[in-house]
Amino acid sequence: DGGITQSPKYLFRKEGQNVTLSCEQNLNHDAMYWYRQDPGQGLRLIYYSQIVNDFQKGDIAEGYSVSREKKESFPLTVTSAQKNPTAFYLCASSPPGTLYGYTFGSGTRLTVV
C-alpha cells in the first residue's frame, strides 16, 4: 500500500467498547494524519502529528485519541465517547513542509454492532 499500512481492514465495535486502529509507514515521513470519511462525504481531519511525541487536534477530535511514540506509527483509538463511530478511517503521511501531497493507507472500515 505504497509504504503505509492500516490494519485491520474491517473492524466491528460493540457499544461502549474502545478500539484501536493501526497505522504504520516506512516512508520516513515526519507528518501523519487521521481522517474520517462517511458515505458520500469528504475527508474530515481527526488528529495530526508533525513530529514524534507531538500531535494536534483536527476538526472532529472528540471521542478519539492518538499517540506518536515512534516516527513510523500513529495509532488511533476510537473511544466509547464517540457516539457515532461507524465510518471509513484513513491514515496518511507526508514529508515535512507545505509542498508535498499525502500518501494514504488503504483504510479501516469500522462498524458498530
Separation CA 50–CA 35 (nearest Å): 15
64 in Cβ contact with 78 (< 8 Å): yes
The answer to whether 73 touches 79, Cβ cutoff 8 Å, is no
Which of 50, 67, 73, 77: binder of another protein (CB under 8 A)? 50
Comparison of 33 and 72: residue with beta carbon closer to another protein: 33
Q: Tell me the per-residue interface mask from 77 to 96 with another protein, x by CB under 8 A, - otherwise.
A: -----------x-x---x-x
Does the protein bind another protein through residue 52 (CB under 8 A)? Answer: no
Residue 10 binds to another protein (criterion: CB under 8 A): no
- Which cell is 22 given? 493501526
Of 90, 97, 96, the C-alpha closest to 74 is: 90
The contacts of residue 42 (CB under 8 Å, 6+ apart) are: none
Tell which one of 17, 26, 106, 111 touches another protein (CB under 8 A): 106
Per CB under 8 A, 5 contacts another protein: no
Contact footprint for another protein (CB under 8 A): 1, 31, 33, 40-43, 45, 48, 50, 56, 88, 90, 94, 96-107
